[in-house]
Amino acid sequence: CVLGTSDDIKKFNKILGIVRDANEFVILGATAIGVNTAIGLEKAGKRNIRIIETDPKKCSDTLNKLDYSHIMNGNTTDPHLLSSENVGRADVLMVLDTTDEVNLLASLMGRNYGSKKIISEFSMPDYESIFKLAGIQSSIGFYRIIANDITKAPISDEEALVQMRYSNELFFSLTLNEKSPAIGKK
């Protein structure tokens, strides 16, 4: 997880070789995360956003919250729908349905259709390794979102460590100045 200003993130992406901005987005699932992501993308000036949702009521509720996004009622794991919607053509496929199994299946189908970048949500920590094993590298766990919010909280100490639920998770904050020994080191 890399935190920083928009300009700093762009610089970081450039170092990694990511220089092309994403312009076309498909979001599977009009969940709170999916709708808020679409709202954020619209505010960032993105206009080519499609949301596919299985629940007709969620579709109509979502329609009232967005200005430019297209919302479609359909099964997020229907291979014919995903094919006809050209999910493989989108720069980013976000799989944000309500269950881990649906998200895994839809992610695999998106990968099969040629999606360049797939971001998928999971809620059970065990699914993180399953997503990675399936080749879906950008998976977001609910517990990681909470941990990310913790790291965004202002921490008054110069160094603060937080041990998370799992033994291999450790989050830290380190304030650097021009005299810090960490400057210039990997």
Query: Which sign, positive or negative, has the C-alpha torsion 81, 123, 116, 53?
Result: positive
Out of 5-9, 92-96, 113-117, least confident range = 5-9
pTM of the complete model: 0.69
Q: What tokens were used for 172?
A: 């830290």
> What share of the chain has pLDDT > 70, as a percent?
81
Q: What tokens were used for 18?
A: 């990511």
Greater confidence (2 vs 158) lies with 2
Q: Are 125 and 144 in contact (CB under 8 A)?
A: no
Greater confidence (140 vs 56) lies with 56
Greater confidence (181 vs 164) lies with 181
Quickly state the pLDDT bin for 159 (edges 50, 70, 90). Answer: very low
